[in-house]
A and B are shown apart, each in its own frame.
Chain A
């Protein structure tokens, strides 16, 4: 440990897309200083470009922006935009990084985002955020919710005329700024530089760049987005008319060996389905939405149901090969010429064609990888070292997100968590050494018995508010309101100067409540709350009146009524302020021990990750030995020696001084909450722990189909793998082997794809060919789903003579015992007639299923399962290892089907998430909470049933809400039949008073 202490407790994260942001948050949350370096002027990467995300159709920006704000406000994260990594020196654990920080000309600390600069800028350019469809100036904001919330000058196009700097009222623009070289000390690096899109103009037959109505999938996302060029209206770029038909063309720049892009980009099938569904919701009633695909790869959690839903809503899926996209004679309309599976050629007409373009490593990533000397795969991605999920060829440097290979958002979030966890593990012992020390605040003012003394600060926001609202008059009127003892104005309340003034008036006028009439609480409440806290007030004695975004900006043409409304808003804010009560911060002590349930590969990986970071871990395994499902595996998807890997893992787990392995253990009872759980085992033993990781694994489905269990020559893939490794005579001597896909998966009773079977089958087929090249191997499949780089294996298998035959669900293969051999009958998809194969061995790709005990665990830990029996995460996209119950995390097959490597990545991510709790000495409640008046409570259980966070419990005949778990949504208060529950500071009387003030403007004709 003494060597470890010398490691630097800081990490450099290169690239600020969702992966970089998640890695930064996990690291910062467990005591490491993070330098988040971003080449472009704003953080966020590609996610803000998307309209919606699959399979929940959540608005991308809505789910992402809280993470952006959290990242931006985190004390332990230093965000460096317009910055590039130049050089990495020193040794792992004690690196020195040299960064080039390009001059931004606009100081993001000073810029208020008012937009006056863009107003006067004479230079108009194409908008990079909405390519080809709208214009922007040489000084602009990349998009509305961007962070930093500052304008950016495009150095390439700026004329340096200086008009912007003259109109800027806060003096944020300074053209004399120079590029800077920074040198930082770090212990580890996370590379998360994301992806770029394939440029389809290099494949002329798709017509991209020649026909305006041929778009890439990302351009189409912008077109669908409410913040896009036409405010979300679905129009054809060529004539601004609504399209009557749209076609999606899959695998553009993916699975194409002719241009050396053999890999599958993994995300495009789902994104096309999502775009088709969104288009149907936005477009005209009878919109035709056709997807031209090769194999439909909906292999992720919940994806298969999404496909079924899409087909049900009329999205047509056409299995085909595309020849060309051309323009109709006369120009109005596009023609797609394609061949179906049988080789018949068709031509169909569409108004819009969307090319589902593949993902490739970003230019910035390739540059960074070059400087770091990372080994890359043949496609230029930094594929992690086998079975590590995140390690690169260099010690102390980890990879996350699409830089390591094409992946979707949850895949990136999981890998980012794992990269953060591995960095932290590498630097264990140095946490807390580089982060800014926590400022001890003076105690809060005691308000008992004191009358409200409200101060109102009205912001001019340059001319944004003052241009429409008579600010001095408004401040004067506000000063006359009951409870108000001070009212004043400020040019920019959010500036450092404005904050200082606020502190000063709080002192001078002995204020105990503050109202700021300015912009939106969404962006600025936190800032003002911190300021009033520093001045000795409880953070919750604060209210904002949004007189900019919701008044001056939207009523520019009606200043009279805007003024009336502004005063209404201020009056309502004051009415609320006088009724505000301080919110107590609740603390609970955290027990730094972790409980891991399940001793398979995932559970052991999580346990070691945490134990190496210094946390005590209790690892429960219900059977007598460690290993789980991986014990039956021989070879990993990339050819790894699984038994060797597993025996090392078991040894490391069993011998780790911080891990206590409890085999044959069963959980009887769970009590407590995040930070403080008590789990009781069957033998009465109690384990006290702060967090829990559920890694209960999965099982291979026992088929009832295809003579399984009746004929010993019919095996599941795991059985076949074992038999092959043991060179069992029946298998080793087989002349013909048939592998049947989707046995028990993608069926009505199990409407999900088991994700791993296609690749596993291809792997086994290759192994058979390795052992006995003369063996005939047939793979009978529905859609071959060798996603990502596994596509190379599929390619190899075909070139080595493995025969792939597609079947339809209405003509499933038939397996019959035929004396010496097994007769397999399948209807060939090209010949359209039954084909008989005389097989010696039939391998069944049986579904991955959830263990039944999940049900019991879900109940014990108050978490939920999805309808397939797998655990249900807090958010499919952005919290894929968290439960909505705080302090409980999941990893591996328990979450859904995935391969060994993916289980390892998720296990590391779950450990990293658990560490964000275990590393804290105490947990703080989140703010406004619901409170119960015991005497009114009838213990009807409504709140207990409804609370999404399981914060409500009945104790001694009345409901009690655990404040450290409550997130303040108020659903219990809204629904409580006896009104025994209220949401603090949103109680009935507060809202009544606000309504009353808001309705006075016109009825009393009270003009400002």
Chain B
């Protein structure tokens, strides 16, 4: 798998994880550039189709990052999201894509360092898993 650089899409709640990513920035905390963030108003807004589609579009890994449990601005959004995500992990396992390519994280807006750690953790996890079997256009070792 030498040269393989995973593509990871992160759906981040604007109230917490997205802010934490910004904080990592203002702290100049470096992390793997493999992670690309999509801002969402609440993790509760993400349905399974969106996550599945991200894999279809070529993501090797996907994570959803929301507020700490009990901290959701909309009460239960992150708990709902987690439930759906757990169910989807099972489906990914059954289809052979692997549930570990999908993960949910909870963090607060103050956890800039933690965001960077999550980005690095996911990147190394997916790197060791190799490219997603669904990847349509992957052409072997991409960027040098």
**Chain A residues proximal to chain B, CB less than 8 Å:** 51, 56-59, 61-62, 65, 144-145, 225-227, 231-232, 520-523, 546, 548-551, 553-558, 560-562, 564-565, 568-569, 572, 884, 928, 946, 948, 967-971, 973-976, 979, 983, 986, 988, 991-992, 994-996, 998-1005, 1007
| Contact partner, B142, options A225, A968, A969, A1003, Cβ 8 Å | A1003
- List 4 additional A-B contacts (Cβ < 8 Å) besides A232-B111, A561-B33, A998-B9: A521-B39, A928-B41, A971-B74, A1003-B7
Please tell me if the beta carbons of A555 and B33 are within 8 angstroms of each other in the complex: yes
A-chain residues with CB within 8 Å of residue B77 when the two chains form the complex:
969-971, 974
Given contacts A554-B116, A1002-B143, contact A62 B74 (CB under 8 A): no
A-B contacts, 5 of them at CB < 8 A, read A59-B68, A232-B113, A979-B49, A996-B57, A999-B36
Contact A948 B45 (CB under 8 A): no
CA distance A1004 to B5 in the complex (A): 12
Determine the chain A residues whose CB is within 8 A of the CB of B26 once the complex forms: 144, 549, 553
Q: Closest approach, in angstroms, between the C-beta of B24 and any C-beta of chain A?
A: 6
- Assembly CA distance A568 to B142 (angstroms): 15
A226 engages B112 (CB within 8 Å): yes
Write the nearest CB–CB distance from B19 to chain A, whole angstroms.
Answer: 6
The minimal Cβ–Cβ distance linking A948 to chain B, given in whole angstroms, is 5
Instruction: Give the residues from 55 to 91 in chain B that come closer than 8 angstroms, CB to CB, to chain A.
Output: 57-59, 67-68, 70-71, 73-77, 80-81, 84
Give every chain B residue within 8 A of A969 (Cβ-Cβ). 41-42, 44-45, 73-74, 77
Contact in complex: B38, A59 (CB < 8 Å) = no
Residue of B nearest to A998 (CB): B36
Q: Which of the residues B30, B37, B84, B108 comes within 8 Å of A59, measured between beta carbons?
A: B108
Q: Is the CB of A1003 within 8 A of B18?
A: no
Whether A971 and B36, one on each chain, are in contact in the complex, defined by CB atoms closer than 8 angstroms, is no
* Bound Cα distance A568, B58 (Å): 13
Tell me, yes or no, whether B27 is within 8 Å of chain A by CB.
yes
Choice from A523, A549, A1004 contacting B21 with Cβ under 8 Å: A549
Residue from B28, B67, B84, B113 within 8 A of A553 (CB atoms): B28
Choice from B18, B45, B59 contacting A973 with Cβ under 8 Å: B45
Residues of A contacting B116 in the complex (Cβ-Cβ under 8 angstroms):
554
- A565 to chain B: which residues have CB within 8 Å? 33, 36
Inter-chain contacts of B9 with A (CB < 8 A): 995, 998-999
- Complex contact A62–B108 (CB within 8 A): yes
B135 CB-CB contact with A under 8 Å: yes
A550–B58 Cα gap in the complex (Å)? 21
Instruction: Evaluate whether A974 and B59 lie within 8 angstroms (CB atoms) in the complex, with A548-B25, A1003-B7 already known.
Output: no
**How long is the Cα–Cα vector from A512 to B128 in the complex, in angstroms?**
44
CB A397 to nearest CB in B, in angstroms, measures 36
Expressed in whole angstroms, the Cα–Cα distance for A917 and B84 within the complex equals 37
Residues of A within 8 A of B50 (CB): 988, 991-992, 995
Instruction: Check A561–B59 contact: CB distance below 8 A.
Output: no
**What's the least CB distance linking A146 to chain B, in Å?**
11
Residue B95 lies at the interface, judged by CB distance under 8 Å to chain A:
no
Which has the most chain B C-beta neighbours within 10 Å: A65, A557, A1003, A1007? A1003
Say whether, besides A554-B31, A974-B44, A227 and B143 are in contact (CB < 8 Å): no
CB distance from B94 to the nearest CB of A (A): 21
Instruction: Find out whether the CB atom of B110 lies under 8 angstroms from the CB atom of A62.
Output: yes
B42 contacts across to A, CB distance below 8 A: 969-971
Decide: A974 near B22, CB < 8 A? Known: A946-B80, A995-B57. no
In the complex, what residues of A have CB within 8 A of residue B108's CB? 59, 62, 226
Report Cα–Cα, A976/B27, bound state, in Å.
39
Q: How far apart are A411's CB and chain B's nearest CB, in angstroms? A: 22
Separation of A986 and B112 alpha carbons in the complex (Å): 25
From DSSP, what is the main secondary structure of chain B's interface residues? loop
Binding site for A on B (CB under 8 A): 5, 7, 9, 11, 14-16, 18-19, 21-31, 33, 36-42, 44-47, 49-50, 53-54, 57-59, 67-68, 70-71, 73-77, 80-81, 84, 108-114, 116, 135, 137-139, 142-143
Say which residue of B30, B41, B53, B75 sits within 8 Å of A948 (CB atoms).
B75
Q: Which residue of A lies closest to B137 (CB)?
A: A1003
Decide if B38 touches A1004 in the complex (CB within 8 Å): no
Name, among B9, B74, B114, B135, the residue most crowded by chain A CB atoms within 10 Å (CB to CB). B74
By beta carbon, the residue of chain B nearest A233 is: B113
Contact B40–A986 (Cβ < 8 Å): yes
A954 to B94 alpha-carbon distance, docked (Å): 37
B110 surroundings in chain A (CB, below 8 A): 51, 59, 61-62, 225-227, 232
A652–B4 Cα distance when bound, in Å, is 78
Q: How far is the CA of A999 from the CA of B21 in the complex (A)?
A: 19
* Partner among B22, B29, B112 whose Cβ is within 8 Å of the Cβ of A546: B22
In the bound assembly, the distance between CA atoms of A1007 and B110 in angstroms comes to 34
Q: How far is the CA of A715 from the CA of B39 in the complex (A)?
A: 60
CB B42 to nearest CB in A, in angstroms, measures: 4
Q: Is the CB of B53 within 8 A of A995?
A: yes
Which residue on chain A has the smallest CB distance to residue B31? A554
Q: Are A62 and B81 in contact (CB under 8 A)?
A: no
Chain B's nearest CB lies how many Å from the CB of A896? 20
Q: Which residues of B are found within 8 Å of A51, using beta-carbon distances?
A: 110
- In the complex the two chains form, what is the Cα distance from A1004 to B71 in whole Å? 40
Contact between chains at A56 and B81 (CB < 8 Å): no
Q: Report the bound CA distance from A144 to B19 in whole Å.
A: 11
Q: Which residue of B lies closest to A66 (CB)?
A: B15
Nearest-CB distance from A159 to chain B (Å)?
A: 25
Closest Cβ–Cβ distance, residue B39 to chain A (whole Å): 7
User: What chain B residues lie within 8 Å of A553 (beta carbons)?
Assistant: 25-26, 28
A556 touches B30 (CB 8 A): yes
In the complex, what distance in Å separates the CA atom of A522 from the CA atom of B41?
A: 11
Question: Does B47 lie within 8 Å of A58, measured CB to CB?
Answer: no
- Asked if B74 contacts A983 (CB within 8 A), the reply is no
Please indicate the chain B residues that have their CB under 8 angstroms from the CB of A1000 in the complex: 58, 137
Least Cβ–Cβ distance between B55 and chain A, in angstroms: 9
Given contacts A555-B30, A969-B44, A991-B53, contact A948 B76 (CB under 8 A): yes
| Cα–Cα distance between A550 and B27 once the two chains are bound (Å) | 11
Residue of B nearest to A141 (CB): B26
* B-chain residues with CB within 8 Å of residue A560 when the two chains form the complex: 143
In the complex, what's the smallest C-beta–C-beta distance from B138 to chain A, in angstroms?
A: 5
Q: Check B143 against A572 for contact (C-beta < 8 Å).
A: no
Q: How far is the CA of A1007 from the CA of B142 in the complex (A)?
A: 11
- Contact yes or no, B71 A546, CB < 8 A: no
The answer to whether B139 and A1003 have CB atoms under 8 Å apart is yes
For B58, list chain A residues within 8 Å (CB): 995-996, 999-1000, 1003
Q: Given A227-B23, A975-B80, is A992 in contact with B53 using a C-beta cutoff of 8 Å? A: yes
A560 and B142 CA atoms in complex are apart in Å by 13
CB pair A1002–B142 under 8 Å, yes or no, is: yes
Cα-based distance from A464 to B36 in the complex (angstroms): 19
- Are A59 and B54 within 8 A (Cβ)? no
Residues of B within 8 A of A549 (CB): 21-22, 24-26
Closest approach, in angstroms, between the C-beta of A562 and any C-beta of chain B?
Answer: 6
Instruction: Say yes or no: B45 contacts A983, CB within 8 Å.
Output: yes
Nearest Cβ distance between residue A577 and chain B, in whole angstroms?
14
In the assembled complex, the Cα of A556 lies from the Cα of B26 at a distance in Å of: 12
Residues of B near A1002 (CB, < 8 A) are 5, 7, 142-143
**Does the CB pair A971–B76 fall under 8 Å?**
yes
Distance between Cα atoms of A1001 and B9 in the complex (Å): 12
Distance from B80 Cβ to chain A, minimum over Cβ atoms (Å)? 6
Q: Residue among A521, A558, A946, A971 with the most chain B CB within 10 A? A: A971
Q: B109 to A988, Cβ gap below 8 A?
A: no
B24 in contact with A1004 (CB, 8 Å): no
Known pairs A62-B71, A554-B30, A1003-B138; A564 contacts B143 (CB<8 A): yes
The distance from the CB of A462 to the nearest CB of chain B, in whole angstroms, is: 15
Q: Given A226-B113, A553-B28, A992-B57, do A974 and B142 touch, yes or no (CB 8 Å)?
A: no
CA distance A412 to B111 in the complex (A): 27
In Å, the complex CA distance between A150 and B63 comes to 34
- A520–B46 Cα distance when bound, in Å, is 21
